[in-house]
Amino acid sequence: MDKLKRRDFLKLIGAGGVGTGAGMLFGESTKMNVELLMPQVVPPEDYTPGIATWYNTVCGQCSAGCGISVRTREGRAKKIEGNPVHPVNQGRLCAMGQAGLNGLYNPDRIRHPLKRIGERGSGEYQEIGWDEAIAEFGGQLRNLRGADKGNQVHLLSGAGSGHLNDLFAQFIEGIGSDNYLHYDFTYPINLHTANKLSFDEDLLPYYDIKNTDYLLSFGADYLGSWLSPVHHSLSYGQMRQGRGDRRGKCVQIESRMSLSGASADEWIVANPGTEGLVALAMAHVIVNGDSYSGDDRADWIAATESYNPSAVADRTGVAESVIIRLAEEFVVNRPSLAIGGGTLAASTNAVSGLIAINALNYLAGNLNIEGGVLFNPAPTFSAGTNQRYASYSRMLQFVDSMKNGEVEVLMVHDCNALFTLPVAAGFADATKQVPLIASLSSFMDETTAMADLILPTDTCLESWGDAVPEPGVGLPIASIAQPVVSPVFNTRSAGDIILQLAHQIGAELTVALPWTLYEDFLKDTWKDIYQDRAFAGVASDFEAFWSAALQSGVWGEVPARSTQVKEGLGRSILEHLDGSEPSFSGDTKEYPFALQPYLTQTFGDGRGANLPWMQELPDPMTSIVYQTWVELNPKTAAEMGIREGDVLAVTSTQGTLEAPAFIFPAIKPDVIAIPIGQGHTHYGRYAEKRGVNPLQIVAPEVDELSGALAWSASRVRIAKTGARISLVKTSGREIEGVPRTLGRQILSDRSGHG
């Protein structure tokens, strides 16, 4: 008590409350110098102490575009829930969305602008002010522009939905460059390519799971990680239990059981990457039966002649009788719906396989009908698809540009390409040839750690923005993201940074981008669209419309939907029908196992690894937390003498990684699977030096039609290292062959003996 006077003690309990609060404050005061805590006598105007305020905005944890409602008190965000009026998630929210608070208040956020003072990649930076950062970076951009070298400025962004994308494009164009790319590992470029070739549609369609009677998924983990899992989970519940006695059937075809496979009525094992051949064999059955009578039937019979079920069965591992039965069920139980993703969408034949799935929907009459494939209308308030997503092949071209000295300045925004690209791409070495790298990021991830100048950005809970969900929900909608709290640290929104750089550069850029705040740019852009579309009767004026949109967090229209199917779709699909088989890197004898990396609900492509709530969330299929593991079949494990927890060396043609074994019965014996997301060398205390990154040993195979990385096209070998660790999981551990008893050993067999 010598360090604390009675008067000071009363001040402390006045700030913290009597009882537990006082005890905590007293304990702290005896360990360090006393800091007087005082409640706010005059609170800010925008809140009342003790009263919770809810703000509607947009979740930025992934690209699905879910609407969220954030509860705030005393200027701090306390809880995130789904926005009940948002069509994408309808009040629900995934765990990563809930963990947005972990990002906002993360102790490892970049808090001030930083300038590199040591060797690139050394992590040695000094804090600088915003004025200095903008002046220095803007000055270099101005010099390049003035020397007609603006085209040597490149912008690589991982996110840019809505009008932030438009602002980036205008900024780069104003500098005199056309080098603006998006790279997002989770972007479904193969699905986009397949649908463009099949339907001549730039937008992904709406897969109407809610109203279908027969859902056939070729590897798409729609409940876990495929496209918009929260929306699909809602649709799945409606399909199964929300229509009275009408209950849809779910069939999953894949090589490793996903969450969707575990929830299906029937799970069918197929060889990796051959799911498209199963679809073609089903198409063969359909057109050779009585269920399809289109004018192009003869063409379809000829096109699918070589894919009869008996010929395809050995190549796919799916029995002939099963293929025939699935085809019959698919056309009888209409409306039916076939979707594709997972390993198939990450193979060297991904686009051709997804086109085969489109063919199934065409032949069964599932296009543009309720319960089938509905084509989305054009976005309401944003170009949406005018984003310049780069395939892996395009990224390799960009790497070559860096190596050849054609990139003077690289601006990186919210893109961790160094983590999600395989080592074989050479991205890390190429960045060493770039004189200036500037990163607009909230965290020190692997790519940001290579930057010379770091301009820290607000999180989605601190900044303005808008978004058009991809895929859509069958009607044109757009969401507004508004700040729910003031910036926690000395950060700025990406939009504000770009506008301030534009003013620093000056000249025509100031005329093209006269705004100083992104909020004003966003509001004026929405105002122009509002006036152009002449929304009569929507609101009395734009201010009323804007206020209503902010309150609801989303705006949408319900136009009359055409049920017509474009003419010539069958011909278009036939022209691109190609039953190519998957290829793999590595000789089968030397590398006997197919490597299947997979996305998880917890980490996505690794962006969720810095959130402690996600690290503590058990994987739904294995219950493992904190770690990376190698899944293998019990038969394989028995043959190689591998037990759970044995550390395995997994070797591909590109390198070796080590991780503990997990015996997983729902995987093919010649396949091993490793979750993506761990293995960060940077990215904060919760992510660093935890697990391994399987993408680092992926071979640089591509799908020739899309140029996308085929990250499920590598073969590997495995070997015991001799080390052994205990997997951390909520389902307990295996002891002498008795699994998952949580260490209690109180279970008994049917005879009653322990």
Cα separation, 269 vs 209, whole angstroms: 22
H or E segment at 373?
strand 373-374
Q: What is the pLDDT of residue 40?
A: 52
The dihedrals phi and psi of 635, each to the nearest 5 degrees, come to -65, -45
The helix/strand/coil state of 74 is coil
Q: What is the pLDDT of residue 530?
A: 85
Give every CB contact of residue 503 below 8 A, 6+ residues apart in sequence: 138, 509, 510, 513, 516
CB 277 within 8 A of CB 579: yes
Buried b (16+ CB within 10 A) or exposed e, 114-133: bbbeeeeeeeebeebebeeb
Query: pLDDT (tens digit, 9 = 90+) per residue, 646-657?
Result: 999 999 999 999
Check residues 63 and 105 and name the one with the higher pLDDT: 105
Check residues 705 and 245 and name the one with the higher pLDDT: 705
Local structure of residue 661 (DSSP, 8 states): E
Point out the least confidently predicted range of 331-345, 378-392, 479-493, 516-530: 378-392
DSSP codes joined into one string, 580-636 = PPP--BS-TTTS-EEEEEE-BTTTBTTTTTT-HHHHTSPPTTT-B-SS--EEE-HHH
Cα separation, 252 vs 315, whole angstroms: 18
Query: pLDDT (tens digit, 9 = 90+) per residue, 34-58?
Result: 444 444 555 556 666 778 899 999 9
pLDDT at 33 over 50: no
Query: pLDDT (tens digit, 9 = 90+) per residue, 214-261?
Result: 999 999 999 999 999 999 999 999 999 989 889 999 999 999 999 999
Check residues 639 and 537 and name the one with the higher pLDDT: 639
pLDDT at 413 over 60: yes
Nearest to 189 by CA among 577, 602, 700, 703: 703
Q: What is the pLDDT of residue 476?
A: 82
Cα separation, 52 vs 49, whole angstroms: 8
Segment 184-204 mean pLDDT: 94
For tokens 């084509």, the residue is 375
Q: What is the pTM of this model?
A: 0.90
Point out the least confidently predicted range of 399-408, 533-542, 578-587: 533-542
Burial class (CB in 10 A: 0-12, 13-18, 19+), 271: buried
pLDDT at 350 over 60: yes
What mean pLDDT, rounded, does the chain reach?
89
Nearest to 93 by CA among 230, 209, 227: 230
pLDDT at 746 over 60: no
Q: What is the pLDDT of residue 741?
A: 53
pLDDT at 11 over 50: no
Residue type, 280: L
Q: What is the pLDDT of residue 494?
A: 96
Determine how many CB atoms are found less than 10 A away from the CB of residue 138.
18
Query: pLDDT (tens digit, 9 = 90+) per residue, 645-703?
Result: 999 999 999 999 999 999 999 999 999 999 999 999 999 999 999 999 999 999 999 99
Q: How confident is the model at residue 515 (pLDDT cuts 50, 70, 90)?
A: very high
